[in-house]
C-alpha cells in the first residue's frame, strides 16, 4: 500500500523479466532458492518473491521444489562436509545442543515439531543433518513445513495485488481485496497458533533430554 504506483511499476518489470525467461524462469528461481537458503537467507523473503513473480500456482511449485531441494543439499552438506563445524557451533549454544540430543532420541516426532516451530528452516536442516538422522524421516518432516511456505507465497501474491490496488489507476474489485485480507489474517492466525504450540512441545522435549543427559552423567560418575 505504501509503495503505491512505484511498487506496482517494479512488479510489472519483475513479471516481464520472468516472462522473458520462459520455463527457465522457474528453474532459475529454484536454483536461487537453493543457494540463497543455504546461505541462511530467510525462506520467507524467497517465498514472497515467488508469490509476487509467479503467482500462487507456479509460485507454489517453484517455492516448494526449491525448499525441498535446498533442504536435501543442506542435509548432505551437514552430514558429510560441515559436521565438525556445526558440532562446534551447537556446543556453544546449549539450546541447539539439547535439540540435537532430543532429536537423536525421538527422530520422527521431534523433527516434525521442529519444522513447525518458528526456527530458520536452513538452520534446522543443518542441525538435523549434523545429528545424523536418517534421510527418509528428514524429508518427510520437511513436508510438514510446506503449508507455512504456501502461506508465505500467498503473502507475496496478495502483496502484489494490494500494491496495485493502491494505484489510483488500478481497478480492483472490493470483494477481491476483502478476500485477500481475510486470507492473510486467517493464515497469520493459524501459523501463530501452530508455531507456538510446536515451540512449547520442542521446549518440553529439550527439557526432557537435558534431564536425561544429567541422569546419564550422574550414573557415569
Give tens-digit pLDDT for 99-108: 777 777 666 7
Give the whole-angstrom CA distance, residue 198 versus residue 147: 15
pLDDT at position 24, please? 80
CA dihedral (153, 156, 160, 165) positive or negative: positive
pLDDT number for residue 169: 53
pLDDT at 88: 85
pLDDT band at 91 (very low <50, low <70, confident <90, very high): confident
What lies within 8 Å, CB to CB, of 17 at 6+ separation is 25
Average pLDDT over residues 94-119: 75
Cell of 69: 531441494
- Cell digits of residue 29: 528461481
C-alpha dihedral sign at 94, 195, 69, 21? negative
Cell of 85: 563445524
Q: What pTM was computed for the model?
A: 0.73
Packing angle of the helix pair 107-116, 135-144 (nearest 10 deg): 30
73 band by pLDDT with thresholds 50, 70 and 90: very high
Chain-centre distance for alpha carbon 165: 28
pLDDT of residue 215: 42
- pLDDT tens, residue by residue, 12-71: 666 666 656 767 888 888 988 999 899 988 888 888 888 888 888 888 999 999 999 999
User: What is the per-residue burial (b if ≥16 Cβ within 10 Å, else e) of 38-71?
Assistant: beeeebbebbbbbbbbbbeebbbebbbbbbbebb
Query: What are the start-end ranges of the E strands in the chain?
Result: none
Give the rounded distance of the alpha carbon of 66 from its chain centre. Answer: 10
User: C-alpha grid cell for residue 164?
Assistant: 496495485
pLDDT at residue 76 is higher than 60: yes
pLDDT digits (tens, 9 = 90+) for 138-193: 999 899 888 888 888 888 888 776 666 655 455 555 555 566 666 666 666 666 66
Amino acid at each position: 500500500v505504501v509503495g503505491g504506483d512505484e511498487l506496482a511499476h517494479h512488479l510489472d518489470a519483475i513479471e516481464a523479466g520472468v516472462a522473458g525467461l520462459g520455463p527457465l524462469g522457474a528453474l532459475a528461481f529454484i536454483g536461487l532458492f537453493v543457494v540463497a537458503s543455504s546461505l541462511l537467507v530467510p525462506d520467507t523473503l524467497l517465498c514472497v518473491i515467488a508469490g509476487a513473480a509467479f503467482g500462487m500456482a507456479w509460485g507454489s511449485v517453484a517455492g516448494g521444489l526449491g525448499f525441498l531441494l535446498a533442504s536435501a543439499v543442506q542435509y548432505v552438506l551437514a552430514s558429510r562436509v560441515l559436521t565438525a563445524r556445526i558440532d562446534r557451533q551447537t556446543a556453544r549454544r546449549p539450546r541447539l545442543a539439547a535439540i540435537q540430543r532430543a532429536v537423536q532420541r525421538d527422530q520422527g516426532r521431534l523433527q516434525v515439531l521442529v519444522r513447525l516451530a518458528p526456527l530458520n528452516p536452513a538452520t534446522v536442516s543443518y542441525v538435523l543433518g549434523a545429528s545424523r538422522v536418517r534421510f527418509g524421516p528428514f524429508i518427510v518432516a520437511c513436508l510438514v513445513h510446506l503449508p507455512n511456505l504456501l502461506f508465505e507465497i500467498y503473502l507475496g501474491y496478495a502483496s502484489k495485488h494490494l500494491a496495485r490496488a493502491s494505484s489510483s489507476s488500478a481497478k480492483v474489485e472490493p470483494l477481491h481485496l476483502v478476500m485477500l485480507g481475510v486470507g492473510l489474517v486467517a493464515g497469520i492466525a493459524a501459523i501463530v497458533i501452530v508455531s507456538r504450540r510446536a515451540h512449547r512441545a520442542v521446549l518440553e522435549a529439550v527439557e526432557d533430554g537435558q534431564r536425561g543427559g544429567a541422569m546419564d552423567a550422574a550414573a557415569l560418575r
